[in-house]
Amino acid sequence: MRQLPRIVPVESDDDVRRVARLVAEAWCEFDQAGWLVPNRLQRRMILGEVARIHIEHATFYGTVGMLADGTAATVWFDRYRPMPPPLDYWSRLADVAGGNLSRFMLLDKLLDGTRPGEGHEQLAFVAVASGFRKDGRGRWLVRQHLAKLDRAGITTYADADAATTVAREFYRNLGYRPVHAIPVPDGSRICLLRRTPDTVDDTEA
């Protein structure tokens, strides 16, 4: 794999919006996206605004990293200590979700109900621009942060679309293993994945 751009911290509002656009683009490909926002014309915009709320929160209670060229980003939350919800979360969510609010609220409830009790870091989003998804930059970006977590002995969790083979393989190659599947009302499933620092990863970097 060719040398990738350096990783830069996401701090400014412009950076947050840039990452939110990446996340929305990737999120639109998941099974749950059509259920969350049935209106195809509004889907990417609404998903991006919802993602933005969480990305802003992660700049205070986690780590957001982006490649300097803006083609890939990761969003992590520090859940090895108590973490409050985003400021004015429900009112902000209502403002951006509109008539889709009840489905976003239900998804939050489903995911929060299966959140592990042990301290961990959560890999909330991995997003790669559509034209750059076959050169390993998403995996490489995740690996850089996992290396730090492994040195600190920190377990991580992630959520993946259980129906997407590419997603399952992506996380498996990073050392994540399924814990259980979370049924979503549209008939799809989200898989909760766990990775411990001692996981043996014999795949290529």
Residue 165 is inside which H or E element, if any? helix 165-173
Assigned domain for 80 exists: yes
Assigned domain for 82 exists: yes
pLDDT at 181 over 70: yes
Assigned domain for 19 exists: yes
Question: Going along the chain, which residue ranges are E strands?
Answer: 7-9, 62-67, 72-78, 121-128, 156-161, 177-183, 189-195
Query: Which pLDDT score is estimated for 33?
Result: 94
Query: Which pLDDT score is estimated for 199?
Result: 64
- Give the list of residues 6+ apart from residue 188 with CB closer than 8 angstroms, or none: 31, 32, 35, 161, 162, 163
Assigned domain for 204 exists: no
Q: Is residue 81 very low, low, confident or very high in pLDDT (cuts 50, 70, 90)?
A: confident
Query: Which pLDDT score is estimated for 67?
Result: 96
**Cross-strand bridge partners of residue 73:** 66, 127
User: What mean pLDDT do residues 9-20 have?
Assistant: 93
pLDDT at 45 over 50: yes
Query: Which pLDDT score is estimated for 79?
Result: 93
Higher pLDDT, 91 or 5: 91
pLDDT at 61 over 80: yes
User: What mean pLDDT do residues 168-188 have?
Assistant: 90
pLDDT at 202 over 50: no
Higher pLDDT, 2 or 116: 116
Assigned domain for 168 exists: yes
Which amino acid would we find at residue 71? T
Asked if residues 65 and 3 have their Cβ atoms less than 8 Å apart, the reply is: no
Residues 147 and 199: their CA atoms lie apart, in Å, by: 12
pLDDT at 113 over 50: yes
Among 76-80, 102-106, 157-161, the minimum mean pLDDT is found in 157-161
pLDDT tens per residue, range 145-168: 999 999 999 999 998 876 667 778
Q: Among residues 122, 110, 117, which one has the least CA distance to residue 157?
A: 122
Assigned domain for 202 exists: no
Q: Which domain holds residue 141?
A: 7-195
Assigned domain for 203 exists: no
**Predicted model pTM:** 0.92
Instruction: Let me know the angle formed at the C-alpha of 114 by 21 and 144, rounded to the nearest 5 degrees.
Output: 50
Q: How many domains would you assign to the chain?
A: 1
CATH of the domain at 107: 3.40.630.30
